Homo-oligomer: A and B are copies of this chain.
């Protein structure tokens, strides 16, 4: 198996990526890892590896970085030698079977569309994000921001893709699929969600109707579908509110010697909370849904362990033929006359 890794994606790049790729090469001796980034920064960190491990890592030179500040509309074309663009080309040319990046999500989506294209029959690709739940497992929300304006058939295909992921890569039998809405009754929502409801109800999916955010966070469903405007705002509300709450708690714990001592003693509790809700290592990398290649996206805050688990997920996806299952599900979701020959 050949897996490409963007060496420049995390906020602390390339250290977490280097740690992860060294560990991966030790752990999976059958595989080859293509580490994409500026050769001069990466090569020295691999020199001390024992030869057999070293040989499982191929450096692929990419002089540029598509950073978190870059915008696809402005910077895509002038960074065609970025680690992200080069990684996508490795996929396209069959040099790698999966590409893992912790870089700019909008950039990854734009490069994937430009260089790989979308799957046959798919109207729009989607960003999927894991959402922590009270059950201690993730729910999957899509679209989290790829398409601010959606039609009902987009939402329907997002549901199809989310269900394939939940079933084949998360091992959920008959994954429960829901539409995000402002109430549970079928009369709630908007014309868009009501039309999507009709499509989902007629489908083979295990569609359970509307859910509100409460049911999403309680973990009552596996896949929650919404348009990319709402999904993006939900994602950013989650991030901003989590930050606000944890900052406020930290400020409170620094108030006095008493609270500082309390914080010290209560440390395992904060670790418990962080691991169950906030830890990107637990949250994990997820595939970019619907592009013509296996691209796994993680978070810029990932540490080496989280990058390694992103590589592990990409390996599982390759091994299980996830991409082909997704292609088939998209084809099966189409009216007969729209299917590829």
Contacts and interface: CB of A to CB of B under 8 A. Distances in A.
A70 interface: no
Contacts of A149: 190-191
Interface string A126-140: 000000111000000
A227 to B, nearest CB: 9
A145 B173 CA distance: 35
Interface in A236-255: 236-245, 247-249, 251-253, 255
Interface string A247-282: 111011101101101111111111111001100000
A232 B182 contact: yes
A148 to B, nearest CB: 6
- What number of copies of this chain does the assembly contain? 2
A229 to B, nearest CB: 5
A80 interface: no
Nearest to A236: B213
Contact of A249 (B212, B255, B273): B273
A252 B241 CA distance: 20
A188 B148 contact: yes
Nearest to A256: B268
A188 B106 CA distance: 13
A244 B132 contact: yes
A245 B273 contact: yes
Contact of A244 (B259, B268, B277): B277
Nearest to A259: B269
A217 B241 CA distance: 7
Nearest to A277: B248
Contacts of A216: 240
Interface string A207-225: 0000011101110000000
Contacts of A145: 182
A253 B265 CA distance: 10
Contact of A233 (B234, B252, B253, B276): B234
Given A182-B236, A213-B233, 5 more contacts: A149-B190, A230-B230, A252-B271, A258-B265, A262-B265
26 contacts: A134-B247, A134-B248, A145-B182, A149-B191, A182-B233, A182-B236, A212-B240, A213-B240, A214-B239, A214-B240, A217-B241, A237-B237, A237-B241, A241-B241, A242-B245, A249-B269, A249-B270, A252-B269, A252-B270, A256-B268, A258-B266, A259-B269, A261-B262, A262-B262, A262-B263, A262-B266
